[in-house]
Amino acid sequence: MIRQFAVINLAVLLVVITINVLANTLPLNNLTTGQLSERVNVLFTPAGYVFSIWSLIYLTLFLWAVRGLYTRRGADLEAISRIGFLFAWSGLFNVLWLFLFHFEFYVLTLFPMVALLTTIIFMYYHVDRTEGVTIWTKLPFSIYLGWVSVATIVNIGIFFNSIGLNEGFIFSNITWTVLVLFVGGGIAYAFTRIFRDAVYGLVFVWAFLGIAVERTGESIVIAFFAALVGTALLAYIVYYVYTTKKMLEFEA
């Protein structure tokens, strides 16, 4: 059954990648994902170049999926077995979110995004709890979970903007964004420390520095705090890697 899961994982991944490419080349509803992102204008959204991380996510997931077809590494095979159909569900939620977003059902996009985050959390849990997995199994899910964590925060902003709270509630939208930066930084710090996973934290650094770049001309306050939190998190990760000599907990 493990090899069947590997085949399903690869097939699902290829479908997801294809639909994501078509969504921006056709594009779906005559709008690219980037154009829609500018339209919803969530202040937590990083600069466009930051979204190139999807290429890295799909590349590492592709290597993981292909490797699952032939590897004899017991721990990696066990991780595939534990993940089961979760990867297929994550693909479904990924595609569902894409269609809802492109056809501008912004309020509804929060639900598949939370579902996607939840499935990735469970997949990461199964990988993390499987002793002896290699970097080929651990790395893809560290990056994927890190980025979808960031994307979920952005999607929460899309949800509130869509129900008319784009100027904030009680506090201004700028104040909320700064608060969320500190919360996100705290999550990345805690995750890195607890799960011994510097890669997850580096994804947040990448996003935060991208937010600083994107908001420099619009809000110097957001740009400053994004750079501050991102730099502080990076400094901790460098210290962590220096003292532990590890980016991830895995076996060679």
The answer to whether 46 and 104 are in contact (CB under 8 A) is: no
The answer to whether 208 and 227 are in contact (CB under 8 A) is: yes
**Residue 171 is inside which H or E element, if any?**
strand 171-172
The DSSP bridge partners found for residue 169 are 171
pLDDT tens across the length of the chain (252 residues): 888 999 999 999 999 999 999 999 999 999 998 889 888 889 999 999 999 999 999 999 999 999 999 999 999 999 999 999 999 999 999 999 999 999 999 999 999 999 999 999 999 999 999 999 999 999 999 999 999 999 999 999 999 988 888 777 888 999 999 999 999 999 999 999 999 999 999 999 999 999 999 999 889 999 999 999 999 999 999 999 999 999 998 766
Report residue 65 as tokens.
């999926």
Q: What is the per-residue pLDDT for 249?
A: 81
Parallel, antiparallel, or unpaired: how do β-strands 171-172 and 168-169 relate? antiparallel
Distance in angstroms (rounded) separating the CA atoms of residues 211 and 230? 9
Task: State the DSSP code for 32.
Answer: -
Q: What is the per-residue pLDDT for 134?
A: 96
Q: What is the per-residue pLDDT for 91?
A: 98
**Domain ranges within the chain, ordered by starting residue:** 2-244
The answer to whether 39 and 109 are in contact (CB under 8 A) is: no
Q: What is the pTM of this model?
A: 0.96
Q: What is the per-residue pLDDT for 252?
A: 61
